[in-house]
Amino acid sequence: MTFPDHGGADRSLESLESFLTGQFRWFHSHPELSGQEVATTARIRTVLEDLAIEVLDVGLPTGLIARIRGRAGSEATRPVVALRADIDALPITERSGSANASVHPGVQHACGHDFHLVALLGAAALLSRRAASLPGDVVLVFQPAEESMAGARQVIATGALQSLKVRAMFGLHVNADLARGHVAVAEGALSAAVDRFRVDVRGRGGHAAAPHLGEDVPLAISHSVAQLQSVVSRRVDPLEPAVVSVTHIDAGHTWNVLPDSGWFEGTARTFSDRTRREVESALRSILAGVAAASNVEIEVRWQPGPPAVVNDGELAMLVREACQDLSIPVETPRLRAGGEDFAEYRALMPGAFYLIGMGAPEAPTHSDRFVAKEGALLNAARVHYGVARRALRHWSREIPPVDASRRL
């Protein structure tokens, strides 16, 4: 499965691009859901072993961690950086019309994770060939279960990143707002914290013709949903982005009975820890008021997800300079209210997350018609490669420190 080296930089890149395309088509047609990425993991392992890359035994049920050792030197002093890709798919039946569409009904790579993992395999191929020139080690994290927001925590729980003394983590994601093959990176927040809430409402039910003899649970739910629209508009700093969306409401079973219970759920998206706390507090306060005014019982269950992805300024500049080294156009991204559990790694180490352009795809991500663009794979692999090399050289003092004060 490895790609041949025909000699010469241009021919080698052509071979790499062909290798990436073949791998991408296989992974796209064989998607697996979060926690079920068995065949995906097996193929990744085979490719890495063909490249003579060390796969570490860390106890992950799916997904894996590998290491490319740099040139000889003390493991206590050699810098270590990590590149991460997610590998799971979504529970969607693909209708893209692609010749390489999913062979598994009800499962589709609709968020570009097939692209992400193949780009990392390409970077692994480039880095492994030049391992003797690397002044440190590169850890490759093929992370499971990003879509269920559990995978990063599983990786962290192995302790592997801690024992390997990883200094920084880098990752990428496909993006439709950018020209194909372009990269976007910036200091600070890039994507949102993702929190989920469920609200249960209980009261005395009764006949729809006699609402005064009980409590109107559907009305209390309606008031709750309407009042929650004021969280962002009236309780959050207007200069701080935030989203509160109610996405599912369930109450009652027939037309002439007032039910004694109902519930609704939704999500909150925020970009700073302070705003995240403010949104939860405001939501609870508003619902307590509705409960008192409607004479019903309201129970709020708040399920925190991953925090916002917040790029370290120095590392974001390092990514930008790596792109410039490779003559890859680099831009400043727009904020994304989507979530990404790459953010979990910032509790251990600084990181930088960057976007790779798809141009104008036929459909958005999470659509049953989405397929990532093969033509951007080579640039994605080269960016990962360039970022890892520059980061290792930076921490080994082979290049001057990054000037983090420069505007991105």
pLDDT bin (cut points 50, 70, 90) of residue 10 is: low
Mean pLDDT lowest among 5-14, 148-157, 178-187, 352-361: 5-14
pLDDT of residue 115: 98
The pLDDT tens digits of the residues spanning 38-92 come to 999 999 999 999 999 999 999 999 999 999 999 866 666 789 999 999 999 999 9
Q: Among 372, 340, 378, which residue's Cα sits nearest to residue 359?
A: 372
312, 320 Cβ separation under 8 angstroms: no
Q: Does the pLDDT of residue 6 top 50, yes or no?
A: no
The span from the CA of 261 to the CA of 271, in Å, is 34
In angstroms, the Cα distances linking 279 to 177, 195, 223, 270, 272 are 28, 10, 18, 8, 11
Residues present in the chain in total: 408
Q: Decide: helix, strand or coil at residue 196.
A: strand
End-to-end CA distance of the chain: 39
The pLDDT tens digits of the residues spanning 86-144 come to 999 999 999 999 999 999 999 999 999 999 999 999 999 999 999 999 999 999 999 99
Q: Among 239, 240, 196, 193, which residue's Cα sits nearest to residue 346?
A: 193
Q: Does the pLDDT of residue 408 top 80, yes or no?
A: no
13, 378 Cβ separation under 8 angstroms: yes
pLDDT of residue 14: 83
Set out the domains of the chain in order of their start, with CATH numbers: 9-190+308-395 (3.40.630.10), 193-304 (3.30.70.360)
Mean pLDDT lowest among 159-163, 165-169, 225-229, 357-361: 357-361
Q: Among 247, 276, 243, which residue's Cα sits nearest to residue 343?
A: 276
The pLDDT tens digits of the residues spanning 270-321 come to 999 999 999 999 999 999 999 999 999 999 999 999 999 999 999 999 999 9
